Structures are given as C-alpha cells and as structure tokens.
Chains A and B, each alone.
Chain A
Amino acid sequence: MSTWRALQDQLAAAGYVAADDLAMALHLALMLGRPLLLEGAAGVGKTDVARKLACLRHTRLIRLQCYEGLDASHAIYEWNYQRQLLAIRASETEDAVFSEKYLLERPLLAAIRQPVAPVLLIDEVDRADEEFEAYLLEILSDYQITIPELGTITAVTRPIVILTSNGTRDLSDALRRRCIYSYVDYPDRANEIAIVRAHHPGIEAELLGQIVGFVQALRKEDLEKVPGVAESLDFAAALAGLGVNDLTGDPVALQAALGALLKTQGDRAAVPLAVAQRIAGKAA
C-alpha cells in the first residue's frame, strides 16, 4: 500500500511540492475513490496538481474548463447534426443517425470511457451555473451518463476527479459533501523555496532566499491582487534572465522584474521602488 508520504515524494520528484494537507487529501481521494475538491486563491497551484498527477500515473489528463453558461452540450456530449443531416440525405432514412458514429464526445463523457482511468480536471467549477453542478453531481455519484437516444453509458473505468474552485460563488453542499476537501494556501517559506528551486534549479541559494522572502513579505502588503506561486516563479525567472545576483544590489532590475509580481496599476502605485527596496532589504 502506498502511503501519503510516498505520494508526496513522488509529486516532489515530478516537480510539485505539496503541503501535508494537500498530499493527504490527494492520497485519500485516490484510496477512497472520491473526487477531490481544491479551493484556494488564484495561482497557488491547484490546477497543476492534476497535471502532475496525470504525469505521475502515466495517464491522460482530461480537462474541463468551466465558465458561465457552460451546458451539457459542451461538457458531456452532443450530436453531430451536420453529419446526421448528410446521412439522412444520402440514405433517405433516419434509422441509424442516433448511434455512436454521430456522437461527439465532450470531456465528461470522454472521461468515463477511457480504457485506463484518466485524471479528470474540472477547473474553476464555481464559474459554472448551478444547473451544471446538478449534472456533475449525477455523474460524480454514479459514474454514468444517460443519453436519451442511446441509453445509459456506464463508466469503463472510474476517472480520478479533481475539482478546483476560486470561491466566486459558494458551491452547493451536496457537491461539497461528495468530495474530499483541501484548502490550498500560499506555501510557507520552506515550501516555496522548494517550489522555486524545483522549477529553476540554476538559482543560487542566497538569491532564492531573497526572492521568496520578498514575495512572502509582499503578500502581507495591502494589494489588490496578491501574487501567487505562479507569479513568484515568473519573478524568479525574470531575475535570472536579467542576471541579477543580489536583490538589493540592482534597483533598476528589481523595478523591471516587479512587473512579474504586481499586475495592476493600483498595486504598482502601492509598491513604489523605495518600498520594494525596503522589503527586499528586509528579506535579505
């Protein structure tokens, strides 16, 4: 039996540093065969978990990006009307037009018909409507999809389901109840250093400490958009690209690289160079 520590190590080897909470939740979701619901601020690596997990298990990642107005025909299946019309035209009969041949698979249907259990990522589920959540409930509890013209399609294999949410609206209790839950927070200093190191192994330890210290201090400032992990990776890449060795040494480069962290006019104004230098000085 694989333990959650082993899973955490495997993820780390694949380049994903997971906090204990997250690794345990993922482990249980796999063991108990439940969907995993991840919540947390933008840019903390919720989506990336699914990607890395798919890599780790050598399986397909099927991604469904949710948005307002997402409906069954975009998420589950749709009939290929044009082809059906042509078929009717050609044969002058309509017997066989509602068959597999004319069915367009969408992510959810595709996910339950894979020979090897895929990772199904339902991204930003809070953006979809309540109606869609109801569809999802049915699929996640029975792993089957009913197509009126064809009948019920039962899952060949059970996909590993990961749902992410940014909290744009509250999800229904029914959906939450079916899932293993984990809240993904900004990583602590040690973890963030490990994350940046995993992505940019070339950066020296001292600069790495400065970068992470800087970003972590910046998160405590009053900002409109708090920089996530993705931003700190960009920031590190930017500094590496500019050839900076010491965050406090080169104000011009720091100013330039700040664009990778602060992404609104208001935030740029809130952290002028002097403030950035002070934070950098403290972080060093």
Chain B
Amino acid sequence: MITRFALRANGPAERMAGFLAHLRLNGMALGVQDCGLALAALTHVSVDLAEARLALKAVCCSSAEDFARFDALFAAYWINTGRERAGKTAGNARQRSSAVIDQDGMAGSGQAERPDTDGAGEAEQDGTGRLIGSRIRNLMRVDLREVVGTADLAEAEAAAARLARAIRDRRSRRRRAATRGAALDLRRVVRASLSTGGEPVRLFRRKRPERPTRLVCLLDVSGSMAVYAKVFLSFLKGLMTADSQTDAYLFHTRLARITEALRDKDALRAVDRMSLLAQGFGGGTRIGGNLAAFNAHYAKRLVSGRSVVLILSDGFDTDPPQVIGAELARLKKRGCRVVWLNPLKGWRDYQPVAAGMAAALPHLDLFAAANTLDSLAALEPELGRL
C-alpha cells in the first residue's frame, strides 16, 4: 500500500484524494463523494492553512472522536514537519496488518484479540496449528486459559452472538408490537364513539411499548486476566456484531472505550486499533477507579434503567475495596442491572475472598462463572431472565 505524500501528487484533486485516503486509513468513514465536497468546501474559504483546516474539519469529521483527532491528522498530512512521521505510522499500520494476514491465514473469526504484547501474541499464534491438530478432547470444558485456537475464538464469538440474540429476540417481538402501536386503537375508538352517536370523533392510539434492553460491557485486561483476554475480546466482538446498541470498554489501569474499534468492519484494522488502545496499559488493575471513570464520563448518557452492565473481571483490585462498593452503588442508582462474570468462579472451591470482589457482591444482580465456553453459553437463560 502506498502512502501518498502531499507534495508528490499532481493537482489539488489528487492531493485531496490522498488526504481522504490518509483519513480513511486512520479509521474515519469517508465516501467517494466526500472528496468533491471537501474541494467544494475549500472554494468557500480564503487561501489560508488555518481556514482550510477548519473547513475540512467540518466536512470530513462525523463524530466527536474524529473531531478530537482531526487536527493531528491534518498536520501530519499537510504540514511538512509532521509529514514524515505520518508516513511512517501509516506504513507501520499496513505492515502490521499484512503480518497478521500471514500468521492468521486471514481467518475471519480470530480478529478481536490480544491486548497483550506482540511477542506473546506471536508465540501463541505459532502454537495455534499444533494445538488444534493434536487435541481431540472436548475443548468446550477446558478452562479458557488454555483456549487459544482460532476455532475456539470463533466459538466464543458464536456463544456471544447467541446471547445477544436471546436478548434481541425478545426485542423483535416488541418491535412488531410497536409498529402496530403507531396505529389507532379501534376498540377504544368504537367504545368512545357510543357517546357521540356512533361517530368516531375522539381517536385513541396505542402507545409505543417500552424500549429493549441494552448491553454495556466492561472488560478487565489486566495482567491477571491476560490469559482470558483474547477469548473475552472475541466474546465482546460477538455481542457487538449481533446488536448494534451494545457498548464495550476495556480497563486495566485506565478505561478505554472500544465500541468503535470493535465495530470496525475491517477486521484487521480492528485488531490494530485494539492493540493501540491496549498499549500504555500496565501494572495492576484499578477496578474501582475505572468504575468511577465510567460513572463520570459514560454512564450518565449510556446507562439507563433498561441497561444491563456486564463486568468481566477476576475482582483483583489495587484500589481500596470501598471504592468498588461505592461506585457500583452509584451505578446501580441509574436503575441498571449489573452482571459480574468472573473466570475464577468456575474453579473448584472458589471463594470471593478478593476484597474488591467481596465489596462488589451485594450490588450484583448476577454473579456467574465464565471460565469455560460452556459457562458462557449457559448464561443465555440467566441473561434472558434479567
């Protein structure tokens, strides 16, 4: 893949096309006609870099995320000093994608994986083929720590899709009712017409039924959870694909929203974005602090009485346990239901002794195991009941 350089292109149209390709490469959704629009926009401003930046920003951006990083992308492409670096990043991203193709053989399923380091990822990738080849026993009951094959990741994704569908099925029944709801309520209209001599003067309508459940997932990718991270990411990916309203976050020492990254239709780029998000994470887990961040930034607009918040974590927290308790209580106040999936719970003789876990327990609507694919699949009826 060639990265176009602003100065090598011929004429403004090609430069602009190059710029849009640069933006697209960085994950912004731009179509063919946007190039024309961008050029048209430039005819309405004076010849000035700052004005051009503002104009292109208005035309090319389509979300708050785009808006926040547009200036850097703009500078990287158009301004000489930043150009080299931009070229390099873009080049890296491509190389990386192709490397992934080579290793994975472009399996359509194992996309949303590895928040871990590159080295570890590669080692696992190498082992994949042998693992599948030599193991005949039923992987469904193997602890997820040992599950690394793409087939199993696909299975996790499928299990998630089933879960999400269980919720959506309920939703689709409601949908049909809703469409009818927009119509007249004949029974009441006729009843009311009696008082006006049989003329249906007063009209009644059916109300729209309430809105369906919405899932919000928080995934712990700290050191202690790293062995499960791949499978859980596939699981999240499955949830996301099945339902367009699902929202997902990673946390470690910081919280990052990965909804956009997981939704990326380009599977390879999704992996890239994910590993970029996971970088810079490290050290212990701050569950309490991250819940606080979630409450402060996202919960107020994304979590309502019809939400189910799904936390995937082992409950080992470096924040004081009362923080977890307080933040969960605050989250619960929004009226949502909280489900905690703990891979450790599936172990024999597990006791929630981790202080954080113990503090969280009173606030949970469902505390379930998530250490095997079976246990993930078994959540279906439980979630349906919530």
A-side residues, CB < 8 A to B, are 1, 3-4, 20-21, 24-25, 27-29, 31-32, 34, 37, 39, 68-69, 71-73, 81-82, 85, 89, 166-170, 173, 176-177, 179-183, 222, 224-225
Contact = CB atoms under 8 A, between A and B. Distances in A.
B61 interface: yes
Contacts of A168: 301-302
A166 B259 CA distance: 18
B347 interface: no
Given A32-B37, A177-B29, A182 B45 contact: no
A90 B172 CA distance: 44
A173 B58 contact: no
B62 A177 contact: yes
Given A68-B211, A73-B182, A177-B31, A28 B58 contact: yes
Contact of B200 (A32, A39, A85, A224): A85
21 contacts: A4-B44, A20-B54, A21-B54, A24-B55, A24-B57, A24-B58, A25-B57, A32-B37, A32-B40, A32-B44, A68-B208, A81-B200, A82-B201, A82-B203, A166-B301, A167-B64, A177-B62, A180-B59, A181-B62, A182-B67, A225-B300
Interface in B64-112: 64, 66-68
A182 B58 contact: yes
Contact of B67 (A29, A170, A181, A224): A181
B211 A181 contact: no
Contacts of A71: 182, 208
B245 A169 contact: yes
B63 A180 contact: no
A181 B63 contact: yes
Contacts of A68: 208, 211
A181 B40 CA distance: 16
A68 B306 CA distance: 14
A180 B201 contact: no
Interface string B196-208: 0001110100011
Nearest to B64: A183
A21 B55 CA distance: 8
A180 B34 CA distance: 11
A19 to B, nearest CB: 10
Interface string B270-307: 00000000000000000000000000100011100000
Given A32-B41, A85-B200, A85-B201, A180 B46 contact: no
A3 B46 contact: yes
B51 interface: yes
Contacts of A169: 245
Interface in B178-217: 182, 199-201, 203, 207-208, 211
A181 B58 contact: yes
Contacts of B201: 82, 85
A89 B45 CA distance: 61
Contacts of B61: 181-183
Given A32-B37, A81-B203, A82-B201, A183 B67 contact: yes
Contact of A3 (B29, B45, B300, B302): B45
Contacts of B200: 81, 85
B45 A21 contact: no
A13 B231 CA distance: 58
Contacts of B182: 71-73
Contacts of A31: 41, 44
A85 B301 contact: no
A4 B182 CA distance: 44
Given A24-B51, A24-B54, A73-B182, 4 more contacts: A31-B44, A39-B63, A69-B207, A183-B68
Which 7 A-B pairs give the minimum distances between C-beta atoms? A25-B58, A176-B62, A24-B54, A183-B67, A69-B208, A31-B44, A181-B61
A29 B55 CA distance: 10
B239 to A, nearest CB: 15
Most buried by B among A29, A173, A177, A222: A177
A82 B199 CA distance: 9
A179 B29 CA distance: 13
B245 to A, nearest CB: 7
Contacts of B301: 166-168
